[in-house]
Amino acid sequence: LGLLEICPIFCYNLLMAEAVVSTEIPQVRDVALLKVHPGMETTARGLFQAIKKANQKALVLLGYASGATPTILDPLIREFTEQGISVFVLSNNPGENKGIQTIKYGPQRDSITAGAIPLSNVNVNNAEEVLLTIQAEIDEGKTGRELNEAVIAKFGTPMPTK
């Protein structure tokens, strides 16, 4: 995939099992990128704490193809959003040129309830654009709800299905 090499500002290095900072995109200073995976139970809290300690203002979760994330992340997502750190979710489905189109699975709904915002018009193929866009909005002084609204206006968010 190479995503960890091309776009990560603050990513999870699966081999080292630790959060690492990269300067591959030097313009992105305030946005973390975290690739989710099964079995994050032992590392999730530490990763989120490291992201918070790095004073990141937004987090992009690279979720599963459907946009779902491990439920272990839900309380951490809630903590972040309650503290004004925006959390966005990208689909990790490189074969498609679109993002999360429907919200119909429990884990998708749970992360949204916790405060995460799924993006519908972009996916892993557009990760660099998403990170740069979020950073540009932060540079304009947007945080919290204002940042969320600007990113949704640019990249869309799906409506939950019944």
| pLDDT value of residue 84 | 95
What are the backbone dihedrals phi and psi of residue 18, each rounded to the nearest 5 degrees, phi first? -150, 160
**Plot region of 42 (φ>0 → left; ψ -120 to 50 → alpha; else → beta):** alpha
* DSSP per position, 4-25: HHHS-SEEEETTTTEEEE--SS
| pLDDT value of residue 24 | 63
| pLDDT value of residue 146 | 96
Tokens describing residue 35: 């690739």
Written as tens digits, the pLDDT of the chain (162 aa) is 333 333 344 444 433 333 443 436 768 889 998 888 888 888 889 889 888 888 899 999 998 888 889 999 999 999 999 999 999 999 888 877 777 666 666 567 788 889 999 998 998 889 889 999 999 999 999 999 999 999 999 998 887 655
User: What is d(CA 140, CA 108) in angstroms, rounded to the nearest whole number?
Assistant: 30
* 78 CB burial (10 A radius; 0-12, 13-18, 19+): middle
| pLDDT value of residue 85 | 96
Give ∠ CA 82-83-84 in degrees, rounded to 5. 90
- List Cβ neighbours of 63 (8 Å cut-off, separation of 6 or more): 36, 69, 89, 90, 91, 92, 100, 111, 118
| pLDDT value of residue 3 | 38
User: What is d(CA 134, CA 157) in angstroms, rounded to the nearest whole number?
Assistant: 15
Q: What pTM, to 2 d.p., does this model score?
A: 0.83
- List Cβ neighbours of 39 (8 Å cut-off, separation of 6 or more): none
* Diameter over CA atoms, the chain: 42
